[in-house]
Amino acid sequence: MYRKQLRRRRAALALLVAASLALLTAYFGEGANGGLHSAQRGVVAVLAPIEEGAHRALKPARDFFGWIDDTLGAKGENERLQSELNELRTRLAAAERATSENRDLKRLVGLRRREGFPDGYGNVTARVITRSPTVWYSTITVDKGRSSGIRPDQAVVTGEGLIGRISTVTAGTAQVTLITDHTSAVSAEVVPSGAAGVIKPQVGNPEDLLLDFIEKGRRVRKGQTIITAGWRSGDLESLFPRGIPVGRVTDASVEERETYQRVHIEPFADLRRVRFVQVLVPASRKSGAAGARAATGAGGGQ
């Protein structure tokens, strides 16, 4: 009797392990429109109203925890902000002069741009309803989807700067892959030096990004700002429009053995506590533009 039970238990366990491995294999083998991916989108679509309701209902509890976290972090933050304030006062004077010059120059060449917002883009504001708890998937789900004009690969920002791109869309929700996800790569530029590189995350540390592939000759200094590079080459163009602020250089080390220098960046946006986001939607979506885009996934700068 006991032996029979043992055999049955082992058989069930083997079956479940085999099913998991089969799912893993099938998931990797199929494309984004495959059966398992579609099933996932279906589950997300069904769960979205429940998650949104729970998100609203649990807001007071979440705010309470946020308040505790803010209070604990406020002391250290205050000291850091004081020193930053002194530095920023000096920079403000220089920036005001530069803005004034910039305005004059734009007027001269007939450009009309909104400050800090890429040209030719509108925005869809969305609320974060869920996020992945594991460090291996830096993803969040927002409460706006295809019906609001959101499409895969659109850039997602907060008031502070770039946070990621849209990876999956359902009718009423969209999943955002954050720039701290290990599959993320963003082509970026250091201002004012103009050095270009690719931003990669460090898995497990959302406060430290790496700007890689910067030529050794280019001088990058602590405190400099990183923006998206927004390149275009023929029909190919970057997923992220040029000029979105990403973060600030915290360390720029040059290893003798390395061909490129590696720069550490602290993102402007607090990626652990994102509540509202803005999805940058092209004002006039060109037909077939998605196909022409360089949706290279991992490795290449997007």
Partner 1 sequence: MIFTGPIVLRLVALAFAVLIFQLAFLSQITIAGSHPDIVPALVVVMGLLGGSLAGAVAGFSIGLFVDSALIQTMGASSLVLLGVGYLAGRFREIFDITNELWPPLVAGGLTALAITGYALIQFLLGVDAPVSALIVRDLLVKSALAVVLSIPLYVGTRRIVRAAMIDDRPRRRRAQTVPMGIGRR
Structure tokens at 268: 């402007």
23 binding partner 1? (CB under 8 A): yes
Q: Is the peptide bond before 60 cis (omega within 30 degrees of 0)?
A: no
Q: Kindly state whether residue 204 participates in binding partner 1, applying the rule CB under 8 A.
A: yes
Name residues whose C-beta falls within 8 Å of residue 203's C-beta, 6 or more positions apart in sequence. 135, 136, 182
Q: Binding residue for partner 1 (CB under 8 A) from 1, 2, 7, 28?
A: 28
Nearer to partner 1, 205 or 253 (CB): 205
Q: Which of 84, 117, 137, 293 contacts partner 1 by CB under 8 A?
A: 137
- Under the binding rule (CB under 8 A), the answer on residue 111 touching partner 1 is no
Among 124, 126, 139, 240, binds partner 1 (CB under 8 A): 139
Count the site residues for partner 1 by CB under 8 A.
64
248 counts as binding partner 1 under rule CB under 8 A: no
CA dist 130 and 212 (Å) reads 31
CB of 80 vs partner 1, minimal distance in Å: 16
Based on the shown chain and the rule CB under 8 A, indicate whether residue 55 belongs to the binding site for partner 1: yes
Other Cβ atoms less than 10 A from the Cβ of 249: the count is 19
State residue 125 phi and psi, 5-degree precision: -85, 135
Among 43, 98, 105, 111, binds partner 1 (CB under 8 A): 43
- The yes or no reply on residue 40 touching partner 1 (CB under 8 A) is yes
**Cβ of residue 31: shortest distance to partner 1, in angstroms?**
14
How long is the chain?
302
- Phi first, then psi: give them for residue 94, nearest 5 degrees: -65, -40
Record the tokens describing residue 264, joined without a space.
């550490």
Closest distance of CB 75 from partner 1, Å: 16
Applying CB under 8 A, among 134, 233, 259, 284 the residue interacting with partner 1 is 134
CA dist 210 and 249 (Å) reads 9
Binding status of residue 20 toward partner 1 by CB under 8 A: yes
Alpha carbon distance 66, 211 (integer Å): 30
Helix ranges restricted to H, 30-58: 35-57
C-alpha pair distances (Å), 165 with each of 39, 47, 57, 76, 261: 22, 22, 28, 31, 26
Instruction: Please spell the DSSP secondary structure of 255-285, one letter per residue.
Output: -SS-SEEEEEEEESS-TTS--EEEEEEESS-
Residue 19's SS3 state is helix
Considering only the stretches 81-89, 188-196, 201-209, 245-253, report the one whose residues sit in contact with partner 1 under the rule CB under 8 A.
Answer: 201-209
Determine if 50 is a binding residue for partner 1 (CB under 8 A).
yes
Among 84, 153, 160, 208, binds partner 1 (CB under 8 A): 208
Tokens 């700068």 identify what position? 301
Contact flag: residue 250 with partner 1 (CB under 8 A): no
Write down the least CB distance from residue 110 to partner 1, Å.
42
98 binds partner 1 per the rule CB under 8 A: no
Query: Site residues (CB under 8 A) for partner 1?
Result: 8-9, 12-13, 16-17, 19-28, 36, 39-41, 43-44, 47, 50-51, 54-55, 58, 61-62, 65-66, 69, 128-137, 139, 141, 167-168, 175, 182-185, 200-205, 208, 210, 272-273, 298-299
